[in-house]
Each structure stands twice: as C-alpha cells, then as structure tokens.
Chains A and B, each alone.
Chain A
Amino acid sequence: MTQKIGVYICHCGINIAGQVDIEEVVKFASTLKDVAVARDYKFMCSDPGQDLISRDISELGLDRVVVASCSPLMHELTFRRVCAKAGLNPYLFQMANIREHCSWVTADRLKATEKAKVIVSAAVTRVIYHTPLEPQKVAVNPDVLIVGAGIGGIQAALDIANAGKKVYLVEKEPSIGGQMAKLDKTFPTLDCAACILTPKMSQVGQHENITLLSYSEVTDVSGYVGNFKVKVKKKARFVDLAKCSGCGECTKVCPVERYNEFDEGLSSRKAIYIPFPQSVPNKFVIDKSGSSPCRVACPAGVNAQGYIALISQGKFREALEVVRRNIPFVGVCGRVCNHPCEIDCERAKVEESISIRALKAFIADYELKAGREKATPVERTKEDKVVIVGAGPAGLACAYDLVRKGYPVTVLEALPMAGGLLHYGIPEYRLPKEVLDNELNYIKELGVEIKTNTPVTDIARLFEQGYKSIFLSTGCQESMKINIPNEDARGVLYALDFLKQVNSGQKVSLGQRVIVIGGGSVAIDCARVATRLGAKEVHLVCLESRDLTCKDRMLAQDMEIEEAEEEGVLIHPCLGAKGILLKDGKVSGLETVICTSVRDESGRFAPKYGQGSAPTINADTIIIAIGQKAVAKDFAEVERLPYGTIKVDATTLQTNIDGVFAGGDVVAGPSDVIACIAAGKEAAISIDRYLSGLDLSEGRPRVIERVKEVPKERVSPQPRAMMPLLGLKERRDSFAEVALGFDEKTAMEEAKRCLNCAACSECLECVKVCEPKAINHEMQDEMVEIDVGSIIVTTGLVPFDPTPLVQYGYGRFDNVYTSLEFERLNHAAGPTGGKILLKDGKEPKSVAIIHCAGSRDENYHPYCSRVCCMYSLKFGHLLREKVPDAQIYEFYIDMRCFGKKYEEFYGRMLKEDIRFIRGRAAEVLDFTIYKSELGKLVIQCEDTLIGKIRRIPVDMVILSVALEARNDARQVAKLFSISQDADGFFIERHPKLDPVRTMTDGVFIAGCCQGPKDIPDTVAQAQAAAACALSMISKGVMEIEPITSRIDEKRCAGCRTCEAMCPYSAIEYKTEDKVCQINEAICKGCGSCAAVCPAGAITSHHFTREQIMAEVEGVVI
C-alpha cells in the first residue's frame, strides 16, 4: 500500500533552524518511502504555513501529513485542524518534536541535525499505519463543581451562578471565606478585607444557583469531561443547619476550650463554635475528633473527658449526671476502680495523667455531702420481666441499664446485703458503706427491685415464675487453695471468708502475728484489715516482685501497696508458700521457697521455683488470698468451662440456653469492678435485643475510634494533684477512709489540666440549652453524589510554618509572630480587638518586619511568594497608624512591588518614617550586649547598603512567611488528575497561554493552588476559570479524543487478563459470548489492556502495536 505523505519542517524562527540544518533534513525526508513532498517554512504554525499544508493536501492529494516542529503538546491540535479543514482525517497526521527534544537540548549542530532526521524518519514510518478516527461527541452537563471556597472559589461560583448555571461549592472548613477572611486590611488600597469579602460570602449563601456544601470534602471523582460523577463527604456537623438559629446559647455552656485556628491560636474557642462572626453558613459546628483515650480505655465507656470538662467549670452535679449516663457506681468506681483511663491518659505524655478516679470520687462525694434528692423512678414501658441473679457490680449494672430502658427488673441476692464483693469484699477504709449504700439506694429508687436472702439455683424455676430473660452474675465465691501441707489447720483463713466476716461486723481474732499469702488487691486488703484489727506484725508473702515495672510485678495497684507499707505491712516478695508449720495442731508459721519467675513469655501464670535459702516466718494466723473461683454446682443446665466459669458467647454473653445470659466474675474469673460493670452493660444490650426480637450480635462489639493525635506543643507542665491521706495513726486504729478526697478548688484545678483530647467532650450541656433542638450528637457523616460537567479547583494555600527557621526564634520567643498572627492581632474582631499588643499586654515601641521568611531560600522554598513585600509594607503602615511613635524596621532582600499601584504604595511608605534595611536578617537574639537592648529582642543583620553588621533591638518581630502548597495538595492532585510542580503547586496546561486549564479536560484551576499570588490575581484567575467552564457549557458538546481501546471479539479468548488491568473498570466480561468488551465512554486510553492481551485482540487506537513497532523501526536507523 503506497501512500502520499507530506513532510513539513518548521524553522521556528531560529529556535530550530539555529541548531538544525533544515535543508539537510528536508533533503533527507524527501528520500523516505512514500514521501510525496517535503517542505520547510519559517513558522509552520502561522497562517501561511498552515495554508501551505492545506494547499498540498488538496492539490497533491496527500493522504498523510507529518509536521516536524515543536512539542505535540503545543501545536498538535493546530495541525490536526489544518488537516481536517483540508478534508483529511486529523488522525492521519503525526507530529515530530524537533524543538523541545532536539534543537533546544543538543549542543552540537551536526548531532542535532542527525537527531532531527531520526525523529522525522520515525514520524514518517509511523504515520503510514495511522487510521482515520472519529472523535466521540458528548453532551456537557451544565452543572459545575467548585472545590474550595476562598475568595477564588467564591468569585468563580458567583460568576457562573450569575450566568444562570448551577454550582456546587464544596468547602472543607465549616465556613467559606478562606485565608482572605482572616485578613484585616488589603494592599495597596487598604480596603478592609471583610468589607469587600463578606458581601460576596453572603451572596454565595443566598444564591439560588449555588448549592453550598460546607464542612465537606470531595472523596472520589469518576467520569470524563462534561460528565463527571463526584462523591462528596459531608462531615457530620452535629448541628442541623436548618434548625440552628445561630443564637449562641450552646457556646456559652460548652466547657471545652480549644485552640482557635481562625485566630492562629492567639485565642481559644469552644468545642461548639462559629469560626468567625461573618461565617457563611452562620451556624454552629461541633469539633469532634474521635473519642478521648480515657473513654476508649474504660471498659464501661464512661465519658471521663465529659465529666472532667464540667468539673473544670464547677458544674459538679452536671458532671455526676455524665457518669450516671453509663454507670450507677460513681463513688464506688471513684475509689476502687483500677482506672485504665488514667493509664492511657494523654496528659501523661506531658508530665502525669489526670487524677481521673479521684475526680470521679469528688463529684459523688459532693452530692452525698450536699444531700442527694431522691431519684424519680423510671417509667415502665416494657412488659417482659427480667431477673438478675447476684447483686454484685455486674448484676446491678445490668439492672441499672435495663430499668432505664423501661424493663421491670428484679435482682435476687443470696446474702443479706446487696453489693456483692463491693459490700463483702472491700474493706470500709477503702470504700465506706455509706458511699455504697447511697448508690444502691439510687438504683433501687429508679425502680430496680432487689430481693436479698434469696438464693436460687434453678433456671427452669425462674422461667416458670414468668421471667422472660435471665442474667447470671453470681461471681466467684469459692476461695482457691494452694495445696500445701496443713492448709486446713486451725488458724488458716481464706481471704473471702475473712473479709466477709469483718465486713459483716463479726469479730475475728487473729493473734499477734499474721501472714497473708497473695500479691493482689485482696491480699493487700487482708493485710491492711489485719493491722486495723490489732495484729502487731503483718507479713505479706507473694510470688510476685515488688518491682512494679517488671513483668512479674504484684497485681495490686501501686497506691495500695505503698499505703500498706506505710501502715507497717511487711512485704516479702518473690517467695512461694512451701508448708504451714503447726504447734499443738494450730498454725505456728510458714515455710517458704524462692520464686524465680511468675509468668511465662506469653503472660500466662506459670511459677518457677529456685534453690536457696528462704525464710520461715512465724505466725498465729495465715490468711490465704490467692484467688477465687466460681461455684460450679448451681444452675446445672448451664454449660461450664473446666474451671467452673460459665461458657458464653464472647460478644453477646448468651449461655447455651436461649434468653439466659451471664457475665462478671462467674464468666471471666476474678477480675475487677469496672470489667464486671462493663459485662453487665453488655448483657443489658443483649437482653434488650433478645426481648425485642433483634439480632444479638449485629454491630458488636462496637468499634470506637480513638482520637489519633493530641497536640501538646502549647501545654505547660503542671503537677498532678495529690490525694490527701488520713494520718498514719488514725489509719492503723480505725476503719475510717484513708483517701480524704479533693476539695472543690483542687478538683477544678486538676480538671483544668485535661487536654480535651477529643475536642467535644459530649457532656451534652449544649443539647439542654438549644431551644430549636438543632444539636444531634449522633449525627453521621453523609455521602452525596453529584453529577457535573466541569470542575474548578481553588483549594488555596497555607502559610509557611517558620518553626524550622530556628534563627528567628519563632515558638521560642513570645514576641515573634508570623504575618498571619499579626493580621489577627491587628484585626478589629481578633484576639485583642485590633490592639497591637505584646504577650505581656504592653504596646510595642519598636517592631522588626523580616521579609522572605521561608521564601527565596534554597533550604525551604526557592520561589518568591509574591505577596510578602506588599503585606509587609501594609504592616508598616498599620503599625504607624496604631502606634505613631513606634520605630518600624523592614528587613528586605529586594522590594518586589510589581502590581498596579504597588510601587506607589511603597513610595508612600518611604515617607511614613519606616526604616528599610537591605539584607536578610541573620538572627533574632535574646541576649543583650548594650543597655539599650535590655529586655528586647535583638535583630542581627548585615545592612548591605552601608556594608556593616548591625544589631537592632526591638520589642516585636513579625516574620513575613512564605505561602506554600497545602499539605493535602497531593491527594487533591490525584483526585482530579492534576499534575504538581516540584513545590507542590498544580500545573496549568501552559504557563502563559493556558493558565487555568489543566491536562485533564474539564478540570480548571485558579488561585494559590496554582502558585502564590495576591487577591487581584486570584480573582482574575477565578473569573478566567469560570469563563472556561461557561464556554464549555454554552457549547453544550465536547469532543473526546478517540484514543481509546477496542477488543476484537473474534480474536478474544475470554481469558479476562485485561479486565484486571483496567483502572476504570471499563472492561466487562460478557458471559454469554465468553469475550470481553470495552466501554469506550469510560475508557481513557492508557492502553494497559492492549499491552497484556495474549491474543493481541486489543487495539489501542492511535497507539497500536503496528504504529509503535513502525516508530521503533524509524527511530533506529
């Protein structure tokens, strides 16, 4: 097949001809196969150049065209149009890039000419295989998406909306306005930023053609030009925009203070807030960043941050309410909980964790002292009766939750008193009976019926009595034995029996010397009770180590151990009991053995004993406190595990019998109060679901998202409040409570140390005061899908953080500010109400403004940020206005005042007595040499105009920081298929001639996401982008390049290799025909499928195998 190819070599003035021998290339081209004509011209892209090609096509009947000139990215479209106009299919054209890839990059003229020849040869051999292609025409959806609602996005949105087209404006922050909203005045006209911005913001808010999606983020973009499908995540605002009236009652009662990002951290705001007074939408938002670590750590999910925040405000009753939302045992847990919350407290990373447990005890005591009002019984809304066996913490927590759900609940207790081990196990000096009884009464008052002295052992009987569901929480009642000689001798007691007797008020005589065996809380309790009962010598023998940091540490809590030692308990760690010595059939002492290791690598209890001498300790009584186990003989129908614990489903706590649940120590073995409470709460959920006929396990266990990062940079250390203790003598003589509790002041001070990790503490005070009922703490993120035809990205910038510029002392010296901080300081609605003040509240009498902080600096940003000179001049003017007698210094490298009226503004500043010092400031110092420098910051610099090193003392330093690409620019770029330059800014299609379009058709960029620029330039680009979008809409139809792939179904073997290759899921397997098919509307033409098709059935249009192979042949000559 012979063809008639026309080859056209462009001189591009001297751009190509200067380095390539055009004549030689033309001569060479005309010798190539099928070349009918080869010509050259000065500027092929000019009208005469284009005419030349077009004339040849019609006169010589050319059927292929090659133009050797610049990059196809520059003029491929131009020459395709020429061909089309002359009646030749535009895809029968090939471009040879002999400028960017040849003349401009090759030093040697001869070599450049050779290279040009090769490039032309490749184009000629390739073009032979070109086939005519027809572009696909697609309708353009007239709706536009704009991402980022700073001044750029706002302007573009208004322009398009005013043209009668629909705009979706997506903004990440709760309000639109962007960086401009933070500014005070704008250069060079000194307009008030708010005065010119806020009218536009409110227009956006009210415009019928603009759908504002504030506090939202684009998460996915699919489709193609004219027809994009966009997924937007509307982040939960927790405030219903339709209902919120913006009255601000909520913010008054919010106890949580947070860093105010709008004021650059110079002030604080509440967790429920409006970013600034003119916000659009002018509605509140709640700042939530997951769940606080304390809350996540608590097995019962008690909202510690919530009640601590309220304590810090002196709202003690409200705080108590927060705890009671989860558990009834406030005073109990405030005393005996093993507080996993404190272990995970973020404050511990600053100095020490918050005294969370003590604060909880404080609010319970506060109510107890003031007198608790009788609780109102909960209304019974459910018919089905529930019975709980065992009135310990698990059973009562379960009863508490169920009664609040409206169930009639009965708790059956075998012993005379309710409370389980809280009553019979824990001694009064740790948990006064008054505290426990108060909380038991509270549970009863809510409507829980507790029947004591009522042992039950039979499930069937309970069902017969009309109970519809049963919760077993009988705990561990049987003491474990050590199995050593003489364990049943007179004088040997078991911890549980001993404590039960003491707690029931029975008299127990111990003799003079007592040994307690065991290293847990119960053992410590026994030892301390023994001292209080008058024992002269109390020894505690345990396998574990006294070193509380090692893996074999004693299980009792640190404080308990310390207090026990203070009270005279002698701890003998790392010893095992070998045998009990008798005298006259009664205990006389204990033989011990050395214990070398308690737990194995996996943490399992596996004690190892060693040789060596171990002491023998004399004693009158030995108390064995090495653990308890469940009594296995009751409830024969219920399946048990080998140790006697009840077997349950780990998530739902259901036993082998339908409707019978179990939890607490009877399931888990001896554990702790809060774990038992948690089990009771889980059982309550299961029982409620069971009785409502719902699935028991759906959505359980609930996954709670722990807050990821808690900033601590601005936190100054403050020691943890210490718990005041009862005097040692009183402790030994009585059962009075050892921990005396915090007073109000201490409690509030301690609560103020809380970092409010999760932002909103979910204390729900705001809900109480919101009249329109607009607040919903359960609100979830919402996904919306929108269809648009074009997208404008105006995601803006961030100011450079100057902390790495250590020489300027930002973050180290109080009075070194960034430019944006100074903007806020100067702003009438800022933290100081527009007064320029130093951190100590005084007015600065001398100020240094350091230009180019982070700009024009190889170490940070090599580029010029373009606005800093001008805003620095503006600062000079504003300072002069507000502090007329101040000394103002500007340290600059070059003054870049390039815009309209900018140079004039500079001229004006020169007359306002501002000292301009040319030279990059070297350092900001706080040590002084001269008297005049006392108490000031000293700028050390070289004044290059006078050629001298100078030291200039000032009160305040402002760093004119660079503008940089946002840290999420990369994700945004990926989302919209935009390229980024080395500095992270988005790349436009052409730096001069196509500044707002991108390489992705239908996606436009404007403003600082493209590069640093001032407000006028941003607005101009935004309007340009709007015009581009509107021109697409008004055309109504877009042509899509026919560079897609197609499968020849006759050759397709149906192996589906291609299917996995396609990033757009454009390939579908047709089961009936057993072949794959490409949806060309979705295909973007990468050609990955064609590369892997083993049958060679896929044609990647315009990049076919034949074309590329031919090009390879042409290129290697």
Chain B
Amino acid sequence: MNNFEPKIVGFLCNWCSYRGADLAGTSRLTYAPNLRVIRVMCSGRIEPLFVIKAFKEGADGVLICGCHPGDCHYSEGNYKVMRRVPPLKKMLEQFGIEPERLRVEWVSAAEGERFAEIVNDFTRKISELGPIK
C-alpha cells in the first residue's frame, strides 16, 4: 500500500478556499501533491453529480471547500452544499464507496496554513483507506 498515491479532486469556491489555496502557495507551504483543484464560483454550485462523476472517473477522494458558514460571498451558498452532502454520502455508501472519501471543509482566504493541513490530513486518510474496492 506504500506506493499508493491517491487521486483527490478538490472543488474550491472562488472567493475563500481558492484564495486560501493560493495563499498556501504564496507562503510556500508544501503539502501532499495529490489534490487536483477545480474552481467553482461558489460551493453552492457543486452538484452531487460532480462528486459522483469524480469517483466514476477514478478519484479516490473528493474534497469540497467553501467559505466559513456566515462568510459566503453569495451569503449562503455554503449552507446549500452543506445540505446536499449528507444524502450524497448515504448514496455513496450504497455504491460501496466509504462516505469518508467525501469531505467538506471551510477554508477562508486567510487560511493558507489550514488548507495545507487539510490536504495533508485528507490525503493521509485516503491513503489509509486505499483504492476504492
């Protein structure tokens, strides 16, 4: 399992999380290279289908990042995605995909360090889980 390099798809909102990821970059914080970022304007844009598609294409984990509750650039998009995730996790479970492979985190534009920590932690967890059986 040591050679397993998980593929993780990250959906990041444009205003907080993408900027948080940029800040991690400008601060030269190194973190696991497994995350592949897809930018959306708001985490509220994320359809369950996107997540399912990612797993279908071979992703080992999906990370959704948005602004902290109450801080959404579009007032409440993050609450909308928050509501979509629990049923989606249930559905993934029925597909035989462990629900822990989908994670939602709030990362502000000022939290570069936190972003790097989240990526590292999530990568570690997914590595432990191994590939989807």
Interface residues of A (CB under 8 A from B): 71-73, 97, 99-102, 104-108, 111-112, 114-115, 118-119, 122, 974, 977, 979-982, 987, 999, 1043, 1061, 1063-1064, 1084-1088, 1090-1092, 1100, 1103, 1105, 1108-1109, 1111-1113, 1115-1116
Contact = CB atoms under 8 A, between A and B. Distances in A.
Contacts of B58: 1116
A122 B47 CA distance: 18
Contacts of A1112: 9, 38, 50, 53-54, 57, 59
Given A1043-B41, A1086-B41, A1087-B44, A979 B54 contact: no
B74 A1084 contact: yes
Interface string B10-50: 00000110110110111011110100111111101111011
**Residue of A111, A122, A1086, A1092 with highest tally of chain B CB at under 10 A:** A1086
Contacts of A1092: 80
A111 B30 CA distance: 12
8 contacts: A71-B18, A105-B30, A105-B33, A105-B116, A1061-B44, A1103-B41, A1105-B49, A1115-B9
A104 B25 contact: yes
Contact of A1087 (B25, B26, B40, B54): B40
Contacts of A104: 25-26, 28
Nearest to B42: A1086
B41 A979 contact: no
A777 B59 CA distance: 67
B9 A1063 contact: no
A115 B35 CA distance: 9
Contact of B31 (A105, A1105, A1109): A105
Nearest to B46: A1091
B110 interface: yes
A101 B21 contact: yes
Nearest to B115: A105
B7 A108 contact: no
B85 to A, nearest CB: 12
A73 B26 CA distance: 12
B111 interface: yes
Interface residues of B, number: 48
Given A105-B29, A979-B110, A1086-B45, A1063 B74 contact: yes
Nearest to A73: B22
Contacts of A97: 22, 37
Contact of A1088 (B7, B42, B70): B42
Contacts of A1087: 40-42, 44-45
Contacts of B41: 1043, 1085-1087, 1100, 1103
Nearest to A106: B33
Contact of B44 (A101, A974, A1064, A1088): A1088
**Residue of A980, A1087, A1113 with highest tally of chain B CB at under 10 A:** A1087
B20 to A, nearest CB: 10
A281 B18 CA distance: 45
Contacts of A979: 15-16, 19, 71, 108-110
B17 to A, nearest CB: 11
Contacts of A118: 36
Interface of B: 7, 9, 15-16, 18-19, 21-22, 24-26, 28-31, 33, 36-42, 44-47, 49-50, 53-54, 57-59, 70-71, 73-77, 80, 84, 108-111, 116
Given A999-B15, A1043-B41, A1115-B38, A105 B110 contact: no
B28 A105 contact: yes
Given A71-B25, A1086-B45, A974 B30 contact: no
Nearest to B76: A1063
Nearest to B54: A1112
Contacts of B45: 1086-1088, 1090-1091, 1100, 1103
Contact of A977 (B50, B73, B110): B73
Contacts of A111: 33
A1091 B74 contact: no
**Residue of A71, A107, A977, A1088 with highest tally of chain B CB at under 10 A:** A1088
B36 A119 contact: yes
A975 to B, nearest CB: 11
Given A105-B30, A1105-B49, 11 more contacts: A73-B19, A97-B37, A106-B30, A106-B33, A974-B70, A1085-B41, A1091-B44, A1100-B41, A1103-B41, A1108-B50, A1109-B53
Nearest to B13: A1086
A272 B67 CA distance: 44
A987 B110 contact: yes
B23 to A, nearest CB: 8
Contacts of A981: 109-110
A519 B61 CA distance: 74
Contacts of B30: 105-107
Contacts of A977: 73
A1062 to B, nearest CB: 9
B116 to A, nearest CB: 7
B43 to A, nearest CB: 9
A1063 B50 contact: no
Contacts of A71: 18, 22, 25
